Every structure is written in C-alpha cells, then in structure tokens.
Amino acid sequence: MDYMDYIMKMTQKLLAVPSPSGFTHNAAQFLYKELENLGYQPQMTVKGAVLVDLGGEDAQDAVLLAAHIDTLGAMVTQIKENGRLKLTNIGGLNPNNTEAENCRVYTREGNIYDATFQLTDASVHVNGSYSEEKRTYDSMEALLDELVSTREDVEKLGIMAGDFVCFDPRTVVTKSGYIKSRFLDDKFSSCIILGYAKYLKEQGILPKRRIYAMFTTYEEVGHGGAAAIPEGVTEMISVDMGCVGEGLSCDETMVSICAKDSTGPYDYRVVSGLVQAAKEAGLSYAVDVYPYYGSDVDVALRAGYDIRHGLIGPGVYASHGYERSHRKGAENTFGLIRAYLG
C-alpha cells in the first residue's frame, strides 16, 4: 500500500467515527491506537487532544504540525411537547445545508437513536409557506425514528438536553479520485499527518528538526490550539482545509498555502519557505487569502505562545457543508510537508 492509499483508507475510517467538538473521545482513541500501531508513543492531553513526538534532532527548534479531529455537530437543547427535539449548533453547522439530513442522538447512558433534521411542518402538501420559511435552529427540529409523540415518551428513552447529535458524513470516494463527505475539515488533513508519520517510521528518516504532531479537539469552537504545545517548539503549522471558492486560486487537487486569514497575516518566513519548498518539489499549489477563516495556530498565538506560524492544506470545496476534495490534494499536501520538513 502506498502512502496515498493509506491516507484515503484512514480518512474514510476516521470520518466514520462521530466527533463534534466536546464529543471527540472515540476519534482521539482511534488516532491514539493507530499511532501506536505505527510504532509511536502518543499521549493524551488533559483536554483530550492527541500529541505525538515524530522524532528529529533539534528539539530546541522544533516544529508542531496541528490538525483537528473535532467537527461540526449539534446538541439537544429542548424536548418539545410533541416529542420532537430542538437543537443548538456546535461550531458553524449551518441549518440551510443540514435540512433533511440523517443524524443520531447519543445519550449520556450510551444509547444511540436515529433521527432526521427537518423544517418544522416539513410536508410541502400541507405547509404552503414551505419555500419561504427561513431555515434556522428555531424553525427546524429533529424527528426521532422512534414511536414517540410526547415529551414524556422521549424522556423514557433517556434523551435529555445536552445530548450530542452527530450528522451522517455521507462519505463517497469516486473512481476519479474525489472524496465527498461532511467533516473533511479536518479529518482529511489529520490522516495526511498520519501518512507522514507512517512515512517517517517506515523510511527510517530522522529530520534535522524535532517534529511533533497534535490532533486537537476543540478547533471548531475556538480553543483547540490554546494549550499543550511542547517545550522547544518555535514553529507551528496548521494542516487544515484549504479554501476553494470564487476569488481564490486553489482547487481540490492542490495544496493551499494561506498568506492571511481573518486574524491576520501568517509568518512571512514560514509562508515564503513553504512556497519555495512547493516550487522546488514541483508541487501543484496556490497561495491564497482566506476571508472568513481561523485556525489552531491563530489560537496558539492568542494564548501567548512565541512561535512562527503557517497554514496549509488540501483544497476543500463547500466548506462546512457537504465538502469535496481529491486524492491529488492529499498528495500535494503530503508532498509539501515532506519537502518542507524532510
């Protein structure tokens, strides 16, 4: 199996593990075990991230690669009198593109119940205002696939406010190399880092600088990279999704190098070094400015870490919706990490 096959295989497996922010323990354990299988000694941070030392010589000028395994999702905020559930979003889950999606409710007792997220009064033959109604969390509800019709019926199932609701990723890999799924942000890049870890171990490569990888668990709610950066790290690179859309140069087959996001510019030396490495390696890349974006490394800077920072990732279209990327995007991102770090 080559490294791209491994990355694509692991991405599909990780996407199948539900992990909205705050409900990431199963995904973290999945990564932890896989890193052990690769021959590493990962550790779990207090707040649930997975941190691993990938090796390298200079531990006082170390690099941290950061990807996040938490995704968008929802939570039960109210059980209605008719037995339907009102939800609140976790992260930027937009109700406009989650309508009629299948989801599951995870109770504190460990039970799992299927549901569908729909507009309230969702029958077109009944609701004459169906097309005009704005889709919001106040106008939509989750319908349990259980024989319930009252709040008491639902409570007997053990469902209560605060239960997590995880949406079906609907993962598809096409013969042409596209991968379509919810939550490619950022499970695709997490598995690219796994592929890099596998590459270093199998090839017996010892980079000149010590390299750590951290898989964070609260990026989508704004504090994933705020803690647990190892001593000696002078540079942190978020390996997250690259933006694809009007006005940007990147597409799904490329590796994106971000020069600036909504927080501000990335470190000039890091961005320039990434661009030079991409050029020398003959990679398909784009340098873009992301208008509405924040990353784990932005959070690390706000937390007070004195580090240089960068952001790269495979191009992902329809971010925070039903996303799409390509095997070549992973290949070019993997290639840039290799070219830049060794």
- Same domain for 147 and 51: no
pLDDT at 1: 53
Q: How confident is the model at residue 21 (pLDDT cuts 50, 70, 90)?
A: very high
- Same domain for 317 and 196: yes
Cα–Cα separations (whole angstroms), residue 291 to 63, 175, 215, 244:
26, 32, 24, 11
- Same domain for 59 and 84: no
- Same domain for 89 and 10: no
- Same domain for 222 and 337: yes
Cα–Cα separations (whole angstroms), residue 24 to 20, 33, 35, 111, 323:
6, 14, 17, 17, 20
Q: Which residue has the tokens 């992260």?
A: 91
pLDDT at 112: 98
pLDDT of 130 above 70: yes
Q: How confident is the model at residue 342 (pLDDT cuts 50, 70, 90)?
A: confident
User: Cis bond leading into 114, ω under 30°?
Assistant: no
In 41-84, where do the E strands start and end? 43-44, 50-55, 58-68, 73-79
Which among 133, 167, 201 is the end of a domain? 167
Q: How many domains does the chain have?
A: 2
Burial (CB count <10 Å: 0-12, 13-18, 19+), residue 340: buried
CATH number assigned to the domain comprising residue 160: 2.40.30.40
Over range 206-235, report the average pLDDT.
98
Global pTM reads 0.97
Q: How confident is the model at residue 138 (pLDDT cuts 50, 70, 90)?
A: very high
Catalytic one of 34, 101, 219, 323: 219
Q: What does the pLDDT look like over 150-162, one tens digit per residue? A: 999 999 999 999 9
292: in domain:
yes
pLDDT at 123: 96
Over range 229-247, report the average pLDDT.
98
- Same domain for 205 and 316: yes
177: in domain:
no
Query: Closest Cα to residue 252, out of 301, 323, 335?
Result: 323
- Same domain for 155 and 141: yes
pLDDT at 108: 96
307: in domain:
yes
141 is catalytic: no
Q: What is the mean pLDDT of the chain?
A: 97
- Same domain for 155 and 189: no
Q: What does the pLDDT look like over 283-330, one tens digit per residue? A: 999 999 999 999 999 999 999 999 999 999 999 999 999 999 999 999
Over range 267-291, report the average pLDDT.
98
Burial (CB count <10 Å: 0-12, 13-18, 19+), residue 127: middle
pLDDT above 90 coverage of the chain, percent? 99
Tell me the DSSP string of 274-329.
HHHHHHHTT--EEEEE-SS---HHHHHHHTT---EEEEEEEEEBSTTSSEEEEHHH
Which among 167, 195, 212 is the end of a domain? 167
- Same domain for 140 and 86: yes
**Residue 28, both tokens:** 């973290």
Over range 183-189, report the average pLDDT.
98
Range of the domain at 131: 73-167
176: in domain:
no
Which among 167, 195, 214 is the end of a domain? 167
Q: Are 250 and 195 in contact (CB under 8 A)?
A: no
Over range 6-20, report the average pLDDT.
98
Q: How confident is the model at residue 118 (pLDDT cuts 50, 70, 90)?
A: very high
